Amino acid sequence: MTGPLVAILSGAGISTESGIPDYRGPTGLWRRDPEAEKLATYEYYMADPEIRRRSWQARRAVWALRPEPNAAHLAIADLDRSGVPVRVITQNVDGLHQRAGIPGRKVLELHGTTRDVVCTGCDARMPTEEVLPRLEAGEPDPACLDCGGILKTATVMFGQELDPLVLGQAAAIARACEVMIAVGTSLQVYPAAGLVDIAVDGGARLIIVNAEPTPYDGLAGEVIREPIGTSLPAVLHRLRRQYEEREASS
């Protein structure tokens, strides 16, 4: 494979302009209401139907907003279409990168996805669209139609392991990239922070686009605090020009 030239490491901040709340951020729900964190904690979710009811309600509230990809997601997909080798590693579970048009095989979802639902009993997997109508029809905690097991979104909850295959692929991308752009992530939690270490150790240029300071700002060649929806497209446009000039002269 050629590249990836550009690795995008994205966090919640890239999707807030699409209306998706940043649960962990400085003003996030989980800071304001620590109880809400239980809704995404595997142990509580499995043990308590009331937690599951509230968790599904919270998901439905986000889905009801019908979030659309914003200018930042679209600019990444555009860069990919322009021929620059791009890979996306995301902490987000909203599927907005793929919705923006970048092929799914180029997107690694570290924390899984809400676009699918899985059964914790028989491992059946189905599109969320198949379960949504049951929620809409008033089922507070829909069970698996095959085995009666507890259903959950295909996200990695607190207390669950990240997929080692996905992690390994993310590390390989971090090692191989020339440029890593960390966008909308505080870089304070594993594995995002570790991936930045790998990229920098491998000689990649680091660009950070985030409203708040991160522990990696000192290692970055460039730190941008402007709103992501306008600043990221500008950064990607510049990278694309540089890539095209290099291709033309080689």
124: contact with Zn ion by CB under 5 A: yes
Name which position in 51, 119, 176, 208 contacts Zn ion (CB under 5 A). Answer: 119
Name which position in 129, 146, 244, 245 contacts Zn ion (CB under 5 A). Answer: 146
121: contact with Zn ion by CB under 5 A: yes
Distance of closest approach, residue 120 Cβ to Zn ion, in angstroms: 8
Give one DSSP letter per residue of 161-214, joined into a string: PPPHHHHHHHHHHHHH-SEEEEES----STTHHHHHHHHHHTT-EEEEE-SS--
Given the residues 73, 97, 111, 237, select the one marked as catalytic.
Answer: 111
Residue 76: partners with Cβ closer than 8 Å, 6 or more residues away: 8, 86, 88, 97, 100, 102, 232, 236
120: contact with Zn ion by CB under 5 A: no
* Identity of residue 3: G
Measured from the CB atom, the residue of 50 and 146 that comes closer to Zn ion is: 146
Measured from the CB atom, the residue of 23 and 42 that comes closer to Zn ion is: 42
> CA-based diameter of the chain, in Å?
62
145: contact with Zn ion by CB under 5 A: no
Residue 97 annotated to the active site: no
Measured from the CB atom, the residue of 126 and 172 that comes closer to Zn ion is: 126
| Interatomic CA distance for residues 75 and 95, integer angstroms | 15
Token pair in block for residue 211? 């409203």
Cis peptide before 4 (omega within 30 of 0): yes
Distance of closest approach, residue 156 Cβ to Zn ion, in angstroms: 19
Measured from the CB atom, the residue of 46 and 124 that comes closer to Zn ion is: 124
**Residue 152 pairs with which residues in a beta bridge?**
118
149: contact with Zn ion by CB under 5 A: yes
Measured from the CB atom, the residue of 21 and 149 that comes closer to Zn ion is: 149
189: contact with Zn ion by CB under 5 A: no
* Identity of residue 211: A
Name which position in 86, 144, 206, 239 contacts Zn ion (CB under 5 A). Answer: 144
Name which position in 122, 215, 225, 244 contacts Zn ion (CB under 5 A). Answer: 122
Please list every residue from 4 through 43 that binds Zn ion, using CB under 5 A: none
151: contact with Zn ion by CB under 5 A: no
Distance of closest approach, residue 7 Cβ to Zn ion, in angstroms: 36
End-to-end CA distance of the chain: 19
Contact present, 219 and 196 (Cβ < 8 Å): yes
- DSSP class of residue 15 equals T
223: contact with Zn ion by CB under 5 A: no
Residue 239: partners with Cβ closer than 8 Å, 6 or more residues away: 6, 79, 84, 179
147: contact with Zn ion by CB under 5 A: yes
Measured from the CB atom, the residue of 125 and 246 that comes closer to Zn ion is: 125
Plot region of 235 (φ>0 → left; ψ -120 to 50 → alpha; else → beta): alpha
- Residue numbers annotated as active site: 111
Footprint on this chain of Zn ion (rule: CB under 5 A) = 119, 121-122, 124, 144, 146-147, 149
